[in-house]
Structure 1
């Protein structure tokens, strides 16, 4: 019995010793293992901007955990294109100032696009010059992505595209910003019947007068998960079972481009000096009739709606009604007007090829967005190779 008690006592002492040893292991500092691992390689590079002789020191392991030496302000960061631009800058190690209005939920997703302290949110009111100054004061690159597709009660096309754009350009010049990148639109024309395209052209002129070295970027019709292109067709498919309205007989020629490709080029413009004072036009590699794209969308989604051809006056009237009823209109009267304008590239403008970017085609990307609007029985159906072509070279009216 005595021997048994001694054995039990010995086991208890052994367990207590093991517990104490385990506690001592837990208490070890977390950095203890770093000394035995291989050191992380870092890069250190000094880059000089040729136009202004400004010097930037790049350092870090690369990617989001590095520091490119640049500070960029992205005005319009919470919009469709803005989130992709912030992501491209963040993964380059650029510190990004993201002025926003609305609630914190509007910019929450942007916080994850850079390392700790690299994404700097701040409240912003475009009507107050001091707010604009505070947003651009510490930046060497400013992106102006602010724009709107339709008039609202608080902002008009003229205010956003002309007056506020000119104010941003003037303040950037006064605050010593060395590079301004202003996003306009393909087909911008002072004589256009579309107020959107007309004010975009007037805005380019006003910005150029205030900041002569501005880089003007004109993207084509952009598509993506948050777009007003495929999602609009999807809305028609779900809520207008009778058919999809087509304007201009569906003969309008457009060159859709993926929003990620546009953002990729905008990110490159941070360091690219060739585009200073130039016009950059970013449109898709293939041209389509609008009717062919609608048919393409219906083929991919396995839907059987038909096209309904509407005259312009009726389309604008119906769009005006939806504007007055819906908080966010599906289509506005001015967007109806734009459906009568063919995409026309400007000779001599810089393109995707000039930045060594090969843009995606609609055939490569459409399943990602149109597939969301398939009926439930076709959700897992494979995306077969497109046998029939849809470009203007293959479709004849």
Structure 2
């Protein structure tokens, strides 16, 4: 089936934007997800009949192969920011990526895009970064012409970065500056990442290359926390938190039965800057002008302001 792309993890934060971008370029799309009943809205991102939903679990090889039947391209977006139950880094980032790549090779899939992350390094002390690198290697071993995308922190309406700290600021008198807040980031807009996926699939010359995706500006962790406070209108103390203490708190948080505010592995990742190296192609090489964080985050962080979307009227109201 020509022009059919299977997108694993296509119903998530990044995935929904990728599906929308591919639909606009005329692809027929099969969204492969663990729970199809929770992804029915994905069909609304394209024309009637353009987008289909398929059940697939990357830990189940048979379901992966079914999802790839007849596809000419594949995008693997499966990943987690923290481990929980069977959803572990090794199982998803490495073994899952290898399963998808092997099935894609056997099914004759011509194009493959692997979503990785800046900081992916087989020697990293952070398990997330280490398994992302191992996943890249597993894919490239089976499919040398696969394209690897390494974004910095991805932001957008449903992101897990700005929303996380804005929510924290609502209930806490302080925001933590882990490691002193000196770690550097180059946040990239989710829509730009989605356009990058669509662009590399449209250009055969991208095959086999690795792209590092960053936004137009570099910020320290402190500057990002200041940006969160400015956009939410909240006044909070920025408290330096040494790495050892943050790591200990992360270990404790990781034991909780709910989503942890931060994990020890994430603290470990904050020891390393999260910016493009400058030695790999990026958004500009794909003809994409990066979107700034300042121009976007106010459009969704408003919900954390006093009064929400009516914050301006609340601010002007007499006491």
CA 1:157–1:278 in 2, change beyond 3 Å: closer, same or farther? same
Gap regions ≥5 residues in structure 1: 1-55, 57-68, 383-397
Tell me what 1:23 maps to. Answer: none
1:334 paired with 2:256, answer no
Distance 1:267 1:193 in 2: 32
Contact 1:165 1:207 in 2 (8 A): yes
1:75 paired with 2:17, answer no
- Kindly report which structure 2 residues correspond to 1:67-216, keeping only aligned pairs within 5 A, or say none: 70-102=3-35, 104=37, 106-216=38-148
- Kindly report which structure 2 residues correspond to 1:1-397, keeping only aligned pairs within 5 A, or say none: 70-102=3-35, 104=37, 106-240=38-172, 242-376=173-307, 379-381=310-312
The ranges of structure 1 where at least 4 consecutive aligned residues each deviate by more than 3 angstroms after the TM superposition are 377-380
TM-score by length of 2: 0.93
Distance 2:261 2:167 in 1: 8
- Partner secondary structure for residue 125 of structure 1: coil
Contact 1:70 1:141 in 2 (8 A): yes
CA 1:377–1:274 in 2, change beyond 3 Å: closer, same or farther? closer
Q: CA-to-partner distance for each residue in 1:224-255, whole Å, 9 max, x for gaps? A: 11111111111211121x20111110000100
- Partner secondary structure for residue 304 of structure 1: coil
Contact 2:152 2:276 in 1 (8 A): no
The Cα shift of 1:312 comes to: 1.9
The Cα shift of 1:117 comes to: 1.5
Distance 2:278 2:290 in 1: 19
The Cα shift of 1:347 comes to: 3.9
When Rg is computed on C-alpha atoms for both structures, the one with the higher figure is 1
- Partner secondary structure for residue 204 of structure 2: coil
- Partner secondary structure for residue 294 of structure 2: helix
Greater RCO structure (CA 8 Å; 6+ sep): 2
TM-score by length of 1: 0.75
- Partner secondary structure for residue 216 of structure 2: coil
The Cα shift of 1:286 comes to: 0.5
CA 1:378–1:164 in 2, change beyond 3 Å: closer, same or farther? closer
Distance 1:326 1:258 in 2: 30
Q: CA-to-partner distance for each residue in 1:282-341, whole Å, 9 max, x for gaps? A: 111110111011112212221110111112232223223333334222222211112221
Q: CA-to-partner distance for each residue in 1:19-68, whole Å, 9 max, x for gaps? A: xxxxxxxxxxxxxxxxxxxxxxxxxxxxxxxxxxxxx9xxxxxxxxxxxx
- Partner secondary structure for residue 244 of structure 2: helix
Number of matched pairs: 313
CA 1:268–1:321 in 2, change beyond 3 Å: closer, same or farther? same
